[in-house]
Amino acid sequence: MKRIAIDMDEVMADLIPKHLQLYNENFGEALTLEDLHGRKLREVRPHAVEELRGYLSDPGFFRDLDVMEGAQDVIQELHEDHEIFITTAAMEFPTSFTAKYEWLKEHFSFLNDLNFVFCGDKGIINADYLIDDNARHFKRFEGTGLLFTSPHNVHVTGYERVDSWGDVREYFLK
């Protein structure tokens, strides 16, 4: 049975719309996903880095994120024939643990919570595949990295890419 590690933020949980909404409300702007093409919000608005990190440090920020389209169905299908681990780099925002755990239990109750890994360096993960939106997590990972497309990584090359959960389904269940 193959082991698949799956990142949470911007792979399973749609973080960017909420982050943009909070920024726009607080700064009176109207930034869109298109404004982030190839960059993170902190790169587009470097003057607001402290405030942007503050949103993510709010203990409840991650609790009500939307589920990425198709994630639940595809992960449930994968779960039938693969060992699934959710690997989130929660050490960057340690106040997020409870909200992330509750979100996972609500939206992915079919997964065993013993397979939820709250970590920093994903190089420690022993899996055949890692699906992640941040290529830095592939540097020390020994399996195959699949880059999940997000506005900030559209220009990243050198990794196999999946653009949607439909692509993930096709990759593993073909």
Residues with a known catalytic role: 7, 9
Place of tokens 């960059």: 39
Between CA 91 and CA 61 the distance in angstroms is 15
Angle (CA) 120 125 127, round 5°: 150
- DSSP states of 95-164: GGHHHHHHHHHHH-TTS-GGGEEE-S-GGG---SEEEES-GGGGSS--SEEEEEP-GGGTT--SSEEE-S
